[in-house]
Chains A and B, each alone.
Chain A
């Protein structure tokens, strides 16, 4: 059982590492493209103005292009969408309470509770908080937050769940060392290793 858990934890760590390596360029590109669309042209035109020596305003200069901001919230979401999301949230609340009444074993109960809560959270974030159709930067912020939360949870649980094994090993070696110092031979101990070292 412990071995399976350790393997799972290792897989978790490896996938976090891989995700980090894979995500970094993607995230970096996204960051650059978002920044350049929102602030690029404006900042660029300002720098050009300073370089040419004419401070701030050149008479013939065309007006600076309007910074492109992703349009959000101008067209109100239809009422039906909000009501549908609300209905789905209520149904999922009933589902999660219903699942808890089934008397599942703890592991399954935790699994389904987390799955349903994540679905509800996604609904709230996507439609009520307008993550859907909103600026890409918001997705980046929440994604980064959740990613670091995952690292936090994984590393802490990797420590907690493997501590017993480490203590067991330490106890094992202490017994052997104590036996060695007192000159006795503990069960299952061959003196081959120590003899070679001496």
Chain B
């Protein structure tokens, strides 16, 4: 009797193998944090490459970072930080059951993603003009030493980060539609929260990338 009653009470979006909505929510949160840990380790390999080669070729890093425009980098930092703010506000508005505002904040976050990628494209274009292409295609002679190595690491780190931004924007657009259709609601907001965590991770990686590539010279 009690078992039957509880199945009637439970919301339809709780999977059958979870005891309760709370358990499903905490399991989703736990899984997302495991994924974040994995992502941090994945980026740590690239950071290690940066540290090791910086140790081996310090002069290259000094002359390489001079080519990068730190104001564009700083601008992009502000863009990503603001997008993180609109992301938490989107989650908060849905918690307060204000669907329209939540959807609006989600699209604003996506727009900030486009701004970030736009600035990134301008930066890449200005490097290509100098003949600074990734890897073996490097043609510039202005920068001394093993500059190809510095820009190889620069391109790998920033391009992988940009890939994360693009994936995050896709996820945000998807969840914005789901929130609008009320498939994701104030009670059932694990998907939105987890995509928010992913977006903050993208922000977090950039917080470390920006000073490492643009500022420290």
Contact = CB atoms under 8 A, between A and B. Distances in A.
A125 B215 contact: no
Nearest to B30: A137
B160 interface: no
B22 interface: yes
B92 A79 contact: yes
A64 B3 CA distance: 10
B17 interface: no
A125 B85 contact: no
A86 B29 contact: no
Please tell me the size bucket of the interface on B.
35 or more
Nearest to A109: B216
Contacts, number: 146
B92 A109 contact: no
A142 B92 contact: no
A149 B29 contact: no
B84 A128 contact: yes
Contacts of B126: none
A176 interface: no
B78 interface: yes
Interface in A96-125: 96-97, 99-100, 106, 109-110, 113-114, 116-117, 120-121, 124-125
B48 A156 contact: yes
Interface in B194-211: 197, 200-201, 203-204, 207-208, 210-211
Contacts of B204: 121, 124-125
A142 B41 contact: no
Contacts of B122: none
Prevailing SS type, chain B contact patch: helix
Interface stretch (B54-62, B111-119, B133-141, B173-181): B54-62
B40 A145 contact: yes
A99 B215 CA distance: 9
A168 to B, nearest CB: 17
A145 B215 contact: no
Interface string B1-45: 011001000000000000110110110011001101100110011
A66 B20 contact: yes
A93 B45 CA distance: 25
A82 B81 CA distance: 11
A82 B92 contact: yes
Which one of A121, A129, A138, A148 has the highest number of Cβ atoms from chain B below 10 Å of its Cβ?
Answer: A129
B88 A128 contact: yes
Interface string A149-168: 10011001100110000000
A73 B95 contact: yes
A143 B81 CA distance: 23
Given A67-B19, A113-B215, A127-B88, 19 more contacts: A66-B19, A70-B26, A76-B96, A79-B89, A79-B92, A82-B85, A96-B211, A96-B215, A97-B215, A100-B70, A117-B212, A124-B84, A134-B29, A141-B34, A141-B37, A142-B33, A145-B40, A146-B40, A160-B56
Q: Which 7 A-B pairs have the closest CB atoms?
A: A113-B211, A100-B215, A145-B37, A69-B22, A76-B95, A86-B85, A149-B44
Interface of A: 38, 42, 57, 63-64, 66-67, 69-70, 72-73, 76-77, 79, 82-83, 86, 89-90, 93, 96-97, 99-100, 106, 109-110, 113-114, 116-117, 120-121, 124-125, 127-129, 134-135, 137-138, 141-142, 144-146, 148-149, 152-153, 156-157, 160-161
